[in-house]
Amino acid sequence: MTRDERNDGSGVPGSEEAVVPVGTDADEARDAGHASDEAAASMGDDALADAGLLREGGAEQAGRPRASLAHRLYNGEAGLDVVGRSRLIYKITAVILLLSLAAMLFRGFNFGIDFAGGNSFRLPGTESELSQIREAADEAGAEVASAQIVGGDSVLLRTGALESDAERQVVEAVAEAAGVAPNQVSPESVSADWGRNITDQALVALVVFLVAVVAFLALRFQPKMAIGAMAALVHDIVVTAGIYALVGFEVTPATVIGFLTILGFSLYDTVVVFDKVDENVKDLEKSARMTWSEAANLAVNQTLMRSINTSVIALLPVAGLLFVGAGLLGVGTLKDLALVLFVGLAAGTYSSIVLATPIVADLKEREPEVQALRRRVLARRSSAARQGGAPAGPVASARRGRRPAGGGGTAVAELPGEVQADVVIESPSSVRPDASGSTAAPRPGARPQRSDGKGRPPGRKRR
């Protein structure tokens, strides 16, 4: 069998070169560059397209879809320069924080009766009677904070603190407006001390939570990552509280529960990104293939699609509760919880992607070891640029053929100039007659011999 017949499997010799029998002197003397061409050709365009790489010449194979965005983000072929634009991110974040603080200072919070103290009245009623019941309570001298339908057939009325006589007058007024007996109205008085106790317990839980998180991040990763996570957490709390004050929703125990919930979500997403950063910077000083900031930025892009997908899945049901339930259907029982969760999840996604990691990278770039690593990486790339080669960027891909004409930041694995053989090819000429005239098979691993019995001079080995 000839080489061309073996390659194409059709028995028809190739049209571009002469047929060379396998194992002959001409086959052994062929240039090693031909072996490189064959090895490159064996990596077909289908394999390159499946790997998300371009075919030879830079054009994508016709009919093959381009690599997905998640694939290119993970390999560093596309993404956001989050760490490189940290100054701009800090300015945008500062503006958002100032607006949130202004909303809390000038507009303030609308505390419910659970925190400010007051009275509540529950009686049978429908949506059509809600406005009449509220007007009756106002005329009786009560300061109505909220009036809503609960359970589908009951009206819950909340007012400021009332004395016993004023409370009895409100009970009679709302019962007459609803057309029910006064004994069907259930009044309840809530002291401000109860709300104060809830606030104190929530603050204690928050402090314990933050201390435990800082200790975990400092021990599991490094102290600077704990600083970045705490900065992102403060951002989430301030932004959520500012938007809540701006909207004017009532602060209830459900609001406090929502605040504690978003803290866990924000830290969960941040820890995922930090874990990838820790993986990328491991043994970075030995290889010097990229700077610390570049490794951190690559980690952000590698986890970007995951963070976005997780956040969207978490936001969809909360958005349904907030916009559809409270907005369209008018069910406002859990609107305070839904608003806190919606704003907190969105703020946590922003801080975990574009705020926490740049803070850590800026802190790390002040360390002498990281600065020395940056100088080594830049010197290595400068040397590669002077030699006319493409400097190795943060991602290496096994792409066949020549380097890209533009000299991008992708390291290309070139085929070697000479291919070393690990298999000895035996030809028919290596089977020689022995002294008795019979044909003797060559020993396993023995080099093929010429017909005159003399060993063949060593030639190039091929794969």
Least confident of 30-44, 131-145, 304-318, 346-360: 30-44
Within this chain, do residues 330 and 182 fall inside the same structural domain, yes or no? no
pLDDT grade for 402, boundaries at 50, 70 and 90: very low
Residue 65's pLDDT band, with cuts at 50, 70 and 90, is low
Verify that 243 and 326 share a domain, yes or no. yes
- At 126 the pLDDT is 81
Q: Do 99 and 210 belong together in one domain?
A: yes
For 283-294, how does the pLDDT look when each residue is reduced to its tens digit (9 = 90+)? 888 877 889 999
| pLDDT given at position 327 | 61
Cβ-contact 360, 276 below 8 angstroms: no
Q: Which of 168, 190, 212 is the last residue of a domain?
A: 190
User: Does residue 3 surpass a pLDDT of 60?
Assistant: no
- The answer to the question of residue 158 being in a domain is yes
Q: Tell me what pLDDT residue 425 has.
A: 45
Q: Are residues 25 and 137 in the same domain?
A: no
Say whether both 226 and 310 belong to one domain: yes
Q: How many of the other CB atoms lie within 10 Å of CB of 303?
A: 23
Q: Do 154 and 55 belong to one domain?
A: no
pLDDT at 456 over 60: no
Mean pLDDT score of the chain: 74
Q: Is the pLDDT assigned to residue 348 strictly greater than 50? A: yes
Which of the residue ranges 41-50, 80-89, 102-111 would you say has the lowest mean pLDDT? 41-50
| Over residues 389-416, mean pLDDT | 41
Last residue in a domain, options 169, 190, 211: 190
- Together in a domain, 170 and 265: no
Rounded CA-CA distance 152/423 in Å is: 83
Are 200 and 268 within one domain? yes
Total domains, the chain: 3
Q: Where are the beta strands (DSSP E) in 210-340?
A: 250-251
pLDDT recorded at residue 177 = 87
pTM recorded for the entire structure: 0.63
3-state secondary structure of 109: coil
> What is the span of the domain harbouring residue 48?
3-69
Residue type, 222: Q
- Triad 445, 448, 454: Cα angle to 5°: 125
Of 319, 344, 368, which residue constitutes the final position of a domain? 368
Residue 19, domain member (yes or no): yes
For residue 457, the model assigns a pLDDT of 52
Q: What gap in Å lies between CA 43 and CA 38, rounded to an integer?
A: 9
Residue 39 has pLDDT above 60, yes or no: no
The Cα angle at residue 238 between residues 277 and 254, in degrees rounded to 5: 105
| pLDDT-based confidence at residue 239 (cuts at 50, 70, 90) | very high
Look at residue 36 and give its three-state secondary structure.
helix
Residue 161 lies in a domain: yes
Q: What confidence tens digit (pLDDT) does each residue in 110-150 have?
A: 887 778 778 888 888 888 888 888 888 888 888 887 787 77
Tokens of 77: 């072929």
Give the pLDDT confidence score for residue 232 in this predicted structure. Answer: 93
Same domain? For 31 and 96 the reply is no
Q: 53-67, 83-97, 147-161, 183-197 — which is least confidently predicted?
A: 53-67
Is residue 443, in this structure, part of any structural domain at all? Answer: no
In this predicted structure, the answer to whether residue 233 has a pLDDT above a threshold of 80 is: yes
Asked if 343 and 211 sit in the same domain, the reply is yes
Sign, CA dihedral 11-13-15-20, equals positive
Q: Residue 331 falls within a domain, yes or no?
A: yes
Looking at the structure, tell me whether residues 186 and 237 fall in a common domain: no
Q: Say which residue, 421 or 333, is predicted with more confidence.
A: 333
pLDDT beyond 80 at 447: no
Chain centroid to CA 341: 20
In a domain, 388, yes or no: no
CATH number at residue 160: 3.30.70.260
Task: Give the range among 7-16, 194-203, 260-269 with minimum mean pLDDT.
Answer: 7-16
* Residue 356 pLDDT greater than 50, yes or no: yes
Determine, yes or no, domain membership for 240. yes
Q: Which of 270, 326, 265, 276 is nearest to 301 (CA)?
A: 276
Give me the pLDDT at residue 61, please: 46
**Residue 169 and residue 171: Cα distance in Å, rounded?**
5
Backbone region of residue 52 per phi and psi (left: phi > 0; alpha: psi in -120 to 50; beta: other values):
left
pLDDT score of 423: 44
Q: What are phi and psi of 250, to 5 degrees?
A: -75, 135
Angstrom distances, CA of residue 390 to CA of 385, 387, 400, 402, 441: 6, 9, 15, 11, 51
In a domain, residue 79? The reply is no
**Domain shared by 104 and 138, yes or no:** no
CATH number, domain with residue 264: 1.20.1640.10
Q: Band of the pLDDT at 187, cuts 50, 70, 90?
A: confident
Average pLDDT for 330-347: 82
Any residues with CB less than 8 A from the CB of 162 and at least 6 apart, and which? Answer: 118, 119, 142, 170, 189
